[in-house]
Chain A
Amino acid sequence: MANLTINGKTFTLDVEPDTPLLWAIRENAGLTGTKYGCGIAQCGACTVHIEGVATRSCGVSVSEAEGKKITTIEGLASGDTLHKVQEAWIAQDVPQCGYCQSGMIMAVAALLNENPKPTDADIDEAITNICRCGTFQQVREAIHTIASA
């Protein structure tokens, strides 16, 4: 059993402490917006915020995440009000297949929280998620749109 605080809610989950957080979120908490892409922290599809820091949840165990504030893509909006990154993604029509975009959006939201006006070099450094459809151009444009708003 583990207690996880996800999107402001406490989940008491029947899960072993060494289970990757990704699978506890997807299968035990039932929040499937966070995606499995590689399981080895390479692709970033499983990115969530742990205490505000963009983290690849496949590489974090449940025991490491216990007691910490976890935010998934489902918890990024405030009620009916979308987060500015989600808004920009819609305005810019960023997603193609969309599978990597939960992770991409979480990574960008964390970057902008830390650095509201990132340069191209800052973006290159911070955003290392894989997108096989190739939405990078729209991702970059959307980040700059938010930064200049």
Chain B
Amino acid sequence: MNKHVSPRLNRRAFVIGTAAVGAGLAIGLDIPFGGPAVVRAADGSPEIGAWVVVRPDDTVVIRIARSEMGQGSLTGLAQLVAEELECDWTKVTTEYPTPGTSVARKRVWGDFSTGGSRGIRSSQDYVRKGGATARVMLIQAAADGWKVPASECTAENSVITHKPSGRTTTYGKVAEAAAKLTPPAEVKLKDPKDWKLIGKGVKRLDTLDKTTGAMIYGADVKLPGMLNAAIKDCPVFGGKLKSFDEAKIAGMKGVKKVVKVGDTAVAVVADTWWHAKTALDALPIVWDEGENAKVSSESIAKWLTEGLDDAQPAYVGNKNGDAKAAIASAAKKVEAVYSYPYQNHATMEPMNATALYTADKCEVWCGTQNGEAAFAAVLEASGLPAEKCDVHKVMLGGGFGRRGQTDYVRQAVMIAKQMPGTPVKLLWSREEDMAHGRYHPITQCKMTGAFDANNNLVALHYRLSGQSILFSLRPEALQNGMDPAAFQGVAQSGEAAFGYSVPNLLIEHAMRNPHVPPGFWRGVNVNHNAIYMECFMDELAQAAGQDPLEFRRKLMGNHPKHLAVLNAVAEKIGWDKPAPQGVYRGIAQVMGYGSYVAGAAEISVTEGSKIKVHRIVASTDPGYVVNPAQVERQIAGSFVYGLSALFYGGCTVKDGKIEQTNFDTYNSMRISEMPKVESVMVPSGGFWGGVGEPTIGVAAPAVLNAYFAATGKRIRSVPLRDQNITFA
């Protein structure tokens, strides 16, 4: 057995560990005579540009602004920087700058938000330039030392060589001199054909501590003198806290304080979280539930169904020809209504944040998908200015979009503010996490397809009714009231464009916003749009008496990239050959987050209701693949997340509250249900697409279409649990 000594990984752990106890990323400044300022990392090593710190022992510390939550982009972003830096990959470590430091330095690290599968694609350009800038400065410093032109020097593996003389030096030796140079105004990035590290499935940089229990997640943060808080927010969204009877828990062990949190919640602060939670459960609380207590899943469904009626107003998101007229005069038409429920992110680690508030400072330690949004929440909740606040990011026990919101950060600060000088860790119970999600939005969809006498699809009307995420979370992004993101996967153009050409097309959204707060749930609107569209494509193919793949292909002539991934999947699963005895296939494709994806499933069904998913083939064209091993894991993980939602998910509403309370009522796939996932990467180059989310869109429709092939029955609502269909 090997010793578990990995200096690189241990250092990474140290950085996170120190962040957790408050040292963070201390920045010092040197102002040397006659040169620009040298910025130093906490250990005194100089920055060579904001993205790179080089230590005397040649260790390279790469700054990562985006958050790691399992998706692997911490490693991928480091690869991008290291590719241009030409450093020794075995000596690379990473650290998170704090949002407060970034703001103080005029947002030198750019956007911190880690959602929408943007971690790599929207920062790849400037982080590669960060690596290239540092390389140019290091080479220049070496050349200056040798008094030779920089053009005669090259760098590789952290070693700089002066070709004519054969002299060499290392990054660590010239770092101090390089830090004093003025950065080049422009740098040239490598041609993709010259990449050595990008495109390689190198090992993740954060694995060791995740196997030994040493990794610090938000729930694990410990500060000297820290207390623990458990919270209950009004279970009816929009309701308020009326009263609580503190006297009833006054003598309970460990309890330090009972505090009101805003207008809607109450928290018990105790020595341990177990004491806090036990006391909170014993605390009599009266809620003012308000009007929303009358809302149920049935009332929401009824309201959404009304929105399917053409007489109701709707926003048009994608249109050509005259779909309604073409349908009215068609030789044959097909109609179906589908629905998709609320879903909870159910990250393995429930929401939490630790806050320390004093009269002149407020600091928070938490897992967040958006360091700057968390920082803004700290400012707002503490009432302190930016220079007196900061957020220390720690590892996320899952994100999936949930930790892009800052409700839990705000709560932690509101609690800590009532106990100045004492750090307080707020941890939600699983039950609180289930009750106060930011749920995948609820929708229904009525689709009508029309054929001419030769079974050509001449019209498609896609009418979505339901909730808008942007209406609730980013109203400034609405366009004259319309939520453009509602059309993800069926949009006319852009990063989630529709992949079919239909002569008469109408895609519209009747926006109806129930009181249950929606959020960005992995895959977001691609999820239901892909299920609706791809299952209905199968229905249309059946109505036309055509093979589902061939039927799609005929409509995809103008969408070569969509078609290429579909073809790649069809070829790999052997669509043109019969499936094994008793096994049935389904296929689906979609575009989302700038990437083209397709999936095919092989399933068998016993007793009409027990599904065994034998095999999944999934292809993706994200333009460029930075780390194929991590992309493969994102693809397989997308199937687990998407199929868990299809089989077991779904949050229902009763008396204005979410009914599901824990994993016993909101189950998740286990290893026995996991199909074999085969990934096919077909990166066509020239663009950068995301990989964390798009594949989830094809998971459910591929399986549902296979279920139809096996049974002749269409399933038009989710979850399968409610239809007594389970994994075999």
Contacts and interface: CB of A to CB of B under 8 A. Distances in A.
Q: Is this pair of chains taken from one and the same complex?
A: yes
Nearest to B431: A39
A43 interface: yes
A27 B230 CA distance: 14
B211 A89 contact: yes
B559 interface: no
B430 A39 contact: yes
B272 A28 contact: yes
A49 interface: no
B641 A95 contact: no
A124 B672 contact: yes
Contact of B663 (A32, A34, A124, A130): A130
Given A37-B430, A80-B3, A96 B633 contact: yes
Contacts of B637: 96, 133-135
Contact of A93 (B203, B219, B640): B203
A90 B207 contact: yes
Given A35-B349, A105-B211, A125-B672, A97 B397 contact: yes
Interface residues of A, number: 61
Given A20-B274, A35-B397, A132-B668, A137 B677 contact: yes
Interface string B334-363: 000000000000111110000000000000
Given A33-B212, A36-B350, A90-B211, A136 B272 contact: no
Contacts of A31: 213
Given A33-B213, A35-B397, A74-B212, 14 more contacts: A32-B220, A34-B213, A35-B348, A36-B219, A37-B350, A45-B348, A77-B212, A95-B211, A97-B348, A97-B398, A98-B70, A123-B671, A123-B672, A136-B636
Contacts of A105: 211
A82 B52 CA distance: 32
Given A96-B71, A97-B398, A82 B2 contact: yes
The CB with the most chain B CB atoms within 10 A, among A31, A89, A96, is that of A96
Category for how many chain B residues contact A: 35 or more
B398 A99 contact: yes
A43 B350 CA distance: 13
Contacts, number: 196
B396 interface: yes
Interface string A89-132: 11001111111111001000000000000000001110111111
Contacts of B399: 97
| Max chain B Cβ within 10 angstroms of own Cβ: one of A93, A100, A123 | A93
A19 B663 CA distance: 21
Contacts of A101: 210-211
B398 A132 contact: yes
Nearest to B663: A42
Interface string A1-38: 00000000000000010011001000110111111111
Given A98-B206, A134-B638, A127 B671 contact: yes
Nearest to A107: B671
Contacts of A129: 670-671
8 contacts: A28-B272, A32-B213, A95-B207, A96-B71, A97-B399, A99-B398, A134-B638, A136-B674
A84 interface: yes
A57 interface: no
B3 A81 contact: yes
B73 to A, nearest CB: 11
A128 to B, nearest CB: 5
Contacts of B671: 123-124, 127-129, 136, 139-140
A63 interface: no
A40 interface: yes
Contact of B636 (A125, A132, A137): A137
B214 A97 contact: no
B200 to A, nearest CB: 13
B532 to A, nearest CB: 24
Interface string B662-677: 1110001111101011
Given A35-B397, A38-B662, A97-B398, A137 B2 contact: no
Contacts of B188: none
B588 to A, nearest CB: 18
Nearest to B678: A137
Contact of B640 (A30, A123, A124, A136): A136
B647 interface: no
Nearest to B69: A97
Nearest to A23: B274
Nearest to A83: B1
A81 B4 CA distance: 6
Nearest to B642: A134
Contacts of B662: 38-40, 42
Contacts of B397: 35, 97-99
A128 B663 CA distance: 12
A139 B636 CA distance: 12
Given A77-B4, A98-B206, A133 B674 contact: no
B536 interface: no
Contacts of B713: none
Interface in A24-80: 27-28, 30-40, 42-43, 45, 72-74, 76-77, 80
Given A33-B212, A93-B204, A131 B3 contact: no
B274 A19 contact: yes
Nearest to B640: A134
Interface string B189-223: 00000000000000110111111111111011010
B72 interface: yes
B520 interface: no
A105 B2 CA distance: 17
Nearest to B430: A38
Given A97-B69, A136-B640, A27 B273 contact: yes
A32 B216 contact: yes
Contacts of A98: 70, 206-207, 209-211, 215, 395, 397
A80 B4 contact: yes
Contacts of B274: 19-20, 23, 27
B669 to A, nearest CB: 8
Contacts of A40: 430, 662-664
A105 B207 CA distance: 13
Nearest to B400: A132
A64 to B, nearest CB: 16
Contacts of A100: 348
Contacts of B664: 40, 42
Contacts of A99: 217, 347-349, 397-398
Contacts of B676: 137
The 8 closest A-B pairs by CB, nearest first: A33-B213, A134-B640, A97-B70, A98-B210, A99-B397, A96-B70, A134-B637, A124-B672
Contacts of B629: 93
B1 A81 contact: yes
B5 interface: yes
Most A Cβ at <10 Å: residue of B274, B396, B399, B669: B274
Contacts of A36: 219, 350, 427
Contacts of B644: 132
A81 B397 CA distance: 26
Contacts of A33: 212-214
A96 B72 contact: yes
Given A101-B211, A128-B670, A134-B641, A82 B663 contact: no
Nearest to A125: B672
A133 B672 contact: no
Contacts of B215: 98
A73 B253 contact: no
